[in-house]
Amino acid sequence: MLSCRVLLYLLLHLTLSLVQAQEEVEVQDVDENGEVNTRMKNPLFGKPKHKKDDSRTVNVLKDIATTEEFINSSDVTIMGFIKDLKSKEADIFHEVVKNVRALSFGLTPSEVVWKKYNVTESTISIFKKYDEKRADYELGVITGMTAAKVVEFVNVNEMRLVTEYNDHNAIQIFGSHIPVHILLIVNKSAPEYPTLLEIFTTVARDYRGTMIFIHVDTDMKSNIRVMAFFSLKHENLPSVCLYNTLTDDVVIMRAGEISAFRIRGFCNEYIGVKPRQQMPIRRAPEEL
């Protein structure tokens, strides 16, 4: 029988292959109606697999009202605050649009809109209806800016501080390129769940971009495989576990109170305080 990890990677690679097989974006000029219609090509596989071209739209927003409407239209939206639509910053923005296919993008050169959102430099902003609500990448301030760096910024900051594990979110989790995953394994029906999730989320703020914090709801039958991967039984729950996708390190936090202090210590010990040779043997679940 395939291991849990192998099944997850099969799911991930199958879905990513489907995503890569879709046609990529080529952004065209802004029209007078404030929209940029984009045609997509497929350089990876040569000839397009679809009979008709897919297309995406970058919303060019000229006033505060339409900008607010756009930002509120989805749980996550990406705004480009760029005045010169033929600048290097605009080119980078369009490259990001090509590579981040799941999110909606807006673009504004309007000084009034910039002032409304306290923007003073060319900036790509993520607006979210959860967690920190907003994250900014200032193109005019950060040196050595590239589309790849902005894409990484978007991928990291669009994620929730705590991501609920399921087949859909597994793609985002494994596609983030952050190898160290911290899992809170507890069922949602447990009376201590709300408190534990609040504690877990508080700690997650300190490790955004370094670790991914994941909640695994064991009330879902499909998540029993995760418990099996960490050799856990229901009597061992709730539990905090670590998995490194690069090294296959598996570590289980020692049984006891699950507090912010203990979770931070667990994370810090793994990522830097403890010498590498003292780390747990690969794929051997042990208590830390």
DSSP 258-286: --HHHHHHHHHIIIIIS-GGGSPPTT--E
Do the domains at 58-158 and 162-271 have one common CATH topology? yes
Tokens coding 187: 């069922």
Q: What is the pLDDT of residue 275?
A: 36
Q: What is the pLDDT along the chain (288 residues), one digit of tens a residue?
A: 444 454 444 344 344 444 443 334 444 444 444 444 443 333 322 233 333 334 467 889 999 999 999 999 999 999 999 999 999 999 999 999 999 988 999 999 999 999 999 999 999 999 999 999 999 999 877 777 899 999 999 999 999 999 999 877 887 787 778 999 999 999 999 999 999 999 999 999 999 999 999 999 999 988 888 999 999 999 999 999 999 999 999 999 999 999 999 999 999 999 874 433 333 333 334 444
pLDDT in tens, 87-106: 999 999 999 999 998 899 99
pLDDT per position as a tens digit, 158-176: 999 999 998 778 877 877 7
Question: What's the rounded Cα separation, in Å, for the pair 65 and 83?
Answer: 18
Does a cis peptide bond (omega within 30 degrees of 0) precede residue 109? no
What is the C-alpha separation between 87 and 33, in angstroms, rounded? 21
**Residue ranges of the domains in the chain?**
58-158, 162-271
Please tell me the predicted confidence (pLDDT) of residue 105: 96
Given 3.40.50.2300, 3.40.1410.10, 3.40.30.10, 3.30.465.10, which CATH number is that of 58-158? 3.40.30.10
What is the bridge-based pairing of β-strands 104-108 and 76-81? parallel
Q: Which pLDDT score is estimated for 284? A: 37
CA distances from 122 to 78, 111, 127 (A): 13, 11, 16
Task: Kindly indicate whether the domain formed by 162-271 is annotated with CATH number 3.40.30.10.
Answer: yes
| The pLDDT value given to residue 56 | 63
pLDDT of residue 46: 29
Q: Locate tokens 């297309």: which residue?
A: 55
Contact call for residues 109 and 67 (beta carbons, < 8 A):
no
Please tell me whether residue 117 adopts helix, strand or coil conformation.
Answer: coil
The residue whose two tokens read 């950060």 is 142
Q: Check residue 39 and give its pLDDT.
A: 39
